Amino acid sequence: MSAKLEALSQKLQDQFGNQLLSLKTVLGEVTLEVAAKDYLSMMRSLRDLPEFGFEELTDLCGVDYSAYGDGVWKGARFAVVTHLLSISNNWRLRVRVFAEDDDFPAVGSITDVWASVNWFEREAFDLFGIAFVGHEDLRRILTDYGFIGHPFRKDFPISGYVEMRYDPDQGRVIYQPVTIEPRENTPRIVREDTYGDPAHG
């Protein structure tokens, strides 16, 4: 680990102490995990305190851990992962927070801390169903208004729940239950009879 990353890790440990659920440095990146109740205050401190100076939020995404490690994951199902950048200190940080309720995942919105996170939070809501408490305009951003479900969840069917088509009788686009029958495509392997025979090159 570089001296710079060691310094960042030590500063995080000194400042947040027991609020850190975990603090790891892997592949040259520092990742910290925080409880949902401490998420908003910690993010504000990471931006405002000059020893951290994370002026920019570069990304936020949702994660569904239900199938992680071939189903051996025992923790909470949904997490929000945020990537921060400090230009003044020239370092990066990944922050992970787990939603406490798997049935209705929710974490606090950080739009008051970084305005740039607005559409990232809407995307995580749309694709994973993670609600961001305090977000002023939490609505779908990538899927259609009538879309049912959240397509990046591991239990979402590949074919979806409904399909959309134009109905000439009604003169408009309509939604209907999926008519595609589930199937498994197994590629057919075609080889010559002499395949693998050294005598035939």
Tens-place pLDDT, residues 76-128: 999 999 999 999 999 999 999 999 999 999 999 999 999 999 999 999 999 99
CATH of the domain at 27: 3.30.460.80
Number of separate domains in the chain: 1
Give domain status of residue 69, yes or no: yes
Task: Kindly state whether residue 58 falls inside one of the protein's structural domains.
Answer: yes
In a domain, 197, yes or no: no
Find the Cα–Cα–Cα–Cα dihedral 21, 86, 39, 78, rounded to 10°.
-70
Residue 25 in tokens: 């440095």
* Residue 174 · residue 164 · CB < 8 Å: yes
Question: Is this structure's pTM higher than 0.75?
Answer: yes
In a domain, 177, yes or no: no
How does pLDDT run across 48-64, given as a tens digit for each residue? 999 999 999 999 999 99
- Asked if residue 118 is part of any domain, the answer here is yes
Alpha-carbon distance of 113 to 156, in angstroms, equals 32
pLDDT tens across 65-90, in order? 988 877 778 889 999 999 999 999 99
Look at residue 8 in the predicted model and tell me its pLDDT.
93
Average pLDDT over residues 177-190: 74
Place of tokens 């504000």: 44
The domain in which residue 101 lies consists of 3-144
